Structure 1
Amino acid sequence: MKILVTGTAGFIGYHLALKLLERGDEVIGLDNINDYYDVNLKYARLNQLGISYEDKNTSNSELDDLCHSQLDWESKLIQSKIYPKHKFVKMDLSDTKSIYELFEKEKFDAVCNLAAQAGVRYSIENPHAYIDSNIKGFMNILEACRHNDIKNLSYASSSSVYGLNKSQPFKTSDHTDHPVSLYAATKKSNEMMAHTYSHLYNISTTGLRFFTVYGPWGRPDMAPMLFADAILNDRAIKVFNHGNMSRDFTYVGDIVDGIIKVIDNPSKSNENFDAQNPDPSISSAPYRIYNIGNNAPVQLLDFIKTLESSIGIEAKKNFMDMQDGDVVSTYADTNDLIKDFCYKPDTDLSDGIAEFVEWYREFYDK
């Protein structure tokens, strides 16, 4: 299967591309490599996939010029040195012309859109970035699928869409009409846009609401990396809401297993859809929403203890009030994913944290 994976310089996108390549799929990777966090980590992930800027004998800045110049299409694609079936293109989802050209030339069997402007708190500081990437960018993906007869689209949503909902565990049958961040609002919008295209053009779309993902090659703006960096550099960690928080921490390998099950099984119209009493996670169109998480929330202070144990250092803690746009707890009801695909994460938190710490120490020479 030939698959476009957007966001392959990102945390989950990198792991997904790697797993697909290892099983023999042809993967075109796409990322704009923005500076939301350290781009050197993004370059390092790409390097693990065999994508090196030295392939073009250029510097990083020169490659930026190359990717945005009016060269023939093939010259924009970088061939992996490790995986014969992998190529990468540096591209922004909001670049409508280039996205349409890519789809027209490459003829994908499936698309998995993981590229997005991430981060709850950053959406308060820089809201326009979320409209450009998460709304306009996703619109370009939908239109490109429509005009190239691609019927298999999976995409990243987020547990953030549950917003003010206090009923836990979060169920996909819950209504999600009260987001508390612009990031969450854009992800909710993606789900609604996808349903429209499923209904109008019979495109199978599946949205995955990710719950807190952790593991090797993780994002520096998320708790595991922030905590590990502070602990190993003798700084206090920030413990928000005075530690009265919990998260459905899910190991990245388990997340990727779930994404692949969805890619391999495009959504279908549901004959049980009741238009008089609609379940927002299903439809008479080929549309589906799933929670993808560990179905086992962990108290923040217990997570910190597990990290301390793995690192071998007790953290200094600075207890703080709740942050704007954040929620106290996340807890995924994953029964639908279990029922449809026998999906069940099996990585114990202590084992997953140990894998993360081992990678962190090696990558950052700690």
Structure 2
Amino acid sequence: MSKTILVTGAAGFIGFHVSKVLLEKGHKVIGLDNINDYYDINLKLARLGELGIDKREAVKELNYTSSSTYGERMIFVKMNLEDRNALPKLFEIHHIDVVCNLAAQAGVRYSLENPEAYADSNLTGFLNILECCRNHKVSKLVYASSSSIYGNSDAVPFDEMDRVDHPISLYAATKKANELMAHAYSHLYGFETIGLRFFTVYGPWGRPDMAMFLFTEAIINNKPVKVFNNGDLSRDFTYIDDIVSGVLTTLLDTSDNTSKYKLYNIGNSQPVQLLEYIEAIEKALGKTAIKEMMPMQPGDVKQTYANVDLLKKDFNYQPSTEVTEGIAAFVEWYRKFYNK
């Protein structure tokens, strides 16, 4: 049975991929994004182009009628998540069944430069979403949390039952706040909320501020690759297709769950050392990186490692993409998109 689904952050990396698969499955997608300039808006507009949204339509403010080549099953709206007048109006116009909130001010390091953007989007914006879900009887909200909330925990793999009271970046603090806010609303108003703690997502159409993109770009252009903490870092790199699979499984599940509030890690559960990751990119490109060893950056964590047993148990989540396979797919897309 098809649903009408609001996907916030639809021009973003994960939101674009989620929207695309939902459309392919026959659902109606209301895509929302403010198309800010945190990174190149041309990449965001190109993603929307893949969803059939003309870039001339995508830049219109509060456009409730910009349908795509998918017909009325894809409607795009340019809007700030924190807009307390426009967002409720959007919910009034469209009868939304479930919400997938992937919009947020992303990035750990940028939160040191522009903390206000995180308060606006990640806190006020998330509250606005919760209020709209409450007032318009939305049955389920699936939202993006982050592995960054685990901070510099030495207890690996990271488990959902771990205490996460010591975030080391404002970005992480806002994601922890989202989880607490969702808990309050599920408790008070009875609608289902599912928080997904994403672990270092990468793949085609990825964000230019992420390691995969930065390393590939630097190596191709014969520029130094900045290797933080002298390479003594590891990440649970998770391919975009595995992330989308987990998001859609939780989003479209129709079982009658007694627990209205849930949190899940969603990762590959196979951490990779940073230097090994760079080596795999070198192999995919057929080119050696110029490495510039750097100290640890403020707000960064030394390691991430997801225990995904709970998501496997409840939703049969099975990540299947090896890092070398995912890197090859990203490099192929990068070369084609940037004509390298």
The question of a shared fold, defined as TM-score above 0.5 by the shorter chain, is answered with: yes
- Per the alignment, residue 105 of structure 1 pairs with 93
Partner AA of 1:148 in structure 2: H
Aligned: 1:240 with 2:214 = no
Aligned: 1:14 with 2:11 = no
Partner AA of 2:6 in structure 1: L
In the superposition, relative to structure 1, how do residues 318 and 83 fare at CA in structure 2: closer, same or farther (>3 Å)? farther
Distance 2:154 2:38 in 1: 30
TM-score (norm 2): 0.97
For structure 1, list consecutive stretches of 5 or more residues without a partner in the other structure.
69-74, 271-284
- Per the alignment, residue 51 of structure 1 pairs with 53
Identity rate of aligned residues, in percent?
A: 57
Distance 1:136 1:294 in 2: 31
Aligned: 1:150 with 2:144 = no
Aligned: 1:303 with 2:291 = no
- Per the alignment, residue 40 of structure 2 pairs with 38
Deviation at residue 264 of structure 1 after TM alignment: 1.6
- Per the alignment, residue 311 of structure 2 pairs with 337
Aligned: 1:85 with 2:59 = no
Deviation at residue 151 of structure 1 after TM alignment: 1.6
Q: Which residue of 324, 348, 355 maps to 2:298? A: 324
SS at match of 1:238: strand
Distance 1:286 1:127 in 2: 31
Deviation at residue 163 of structure 1 after TM alignment: 1.0
- Per the alignment, residue 27 of structure 1 pairs with 29
- Per the alignment, residue 173 of structure 1 pairs with 161
SS at match of 1:85: strand
- Per the alignment, residue 293 of structure 1 pairs with 267
Contact map agreement 2:232 2:274 (CA 8 A) in 1:
yes
Contact map agreement 2:13 2:205 (CA 8 A) in 1:
yes
Deviation at residue 165 of structure 1 after TM alignment: 1.8
Distance 2:84 2:285 in 1: 45
Deviation at residue 266 of structure 1 after TM alignment: 6.2
Q: CA RMSD in A?
A: 1.3
Distance 1:293 1:303 in 2: 16
In the superposition, relative to structure 1, how do residues 82 and 151 fare at CA in structure 2: closer, same or farther (>3 Å)? closer
Distance 1:79 1:150 in 2: 23
User: Which residues of 2 match residues 184-195 of structure 1 at below 5 A?
Assistant: 184-195=172-183
- Bigger Rg, structure 1 or 2: 1
Deviations 1:261-308 (A, max 9, x none): 1102268665xxxxxxxxxxxxxx510000000011001111111110
Contact map agreement 1:205 1:267 (CA 8 A) in 2:
no
SS at match of 2:7: strand
Contact map agreement 2:64 2:75 (CA 8 A) in 1:
no
Contact map agreement 1:152 1:266 (CA 8 A) in 2:
no
Distance 2:257 2:248 in 1: 20
- Per the alignment, residue 118 of structure 2 pairs with 130
Contact map agreement 1:161 1:188 (CA 8 A) in 2:
yes
Partner AA of 2:45 in structure 1: Y
Distance 1:267 1:167 in 2: 33
Distance 2:118 2:228 in 1: 24
Partner AA of 2:324 in structure 1: S
Partner AA of 1:86 in structure 2: M
In the superposition, relative to structure 1, how do residues 212 and 138 fare at CA in structure 2: closer, same or farther (>3 Å)? same
- Per the alignment, residue 72 of structure 1 pairs with none
Partner AA of 2:225 in structure 1: I
Contact map agreement 1:248 1:295 (CA 8 A) in 2:
yes
Distance 2:254 2:215 in 1: 38
Q: Structure 1 segments of 4 or more deviating over 2 A?
A: 265-270
- Per the alignment, residue 151 of structure 2 pairs with 163
SS at match of 2:111: helix
In the superposition, relative to structure 1, how do residues 356 and 294 fare at CA in structure 2: closer, same or farther (>3 Å)? same
Distance 1:188 1:268 in 2: 26
Distance 1:79 1:343 in 2: 33
SS at match of 1:76: coil
Partner AA of 1:293 in structure 2: G
- Per the alignment, residue 212 of structure 2 pairs with 224
For structure 2, list consecutive stretches of 5 or more residues without a partner in the other structure.
none
Deviation at residue 77 of structure 1 after TM alignment: 2.6
Aligned: 1:119 with 2:107 = yes
Distance 1:357 1:241 in 2: 25
Distance 1:186 1:138 in 2: 10
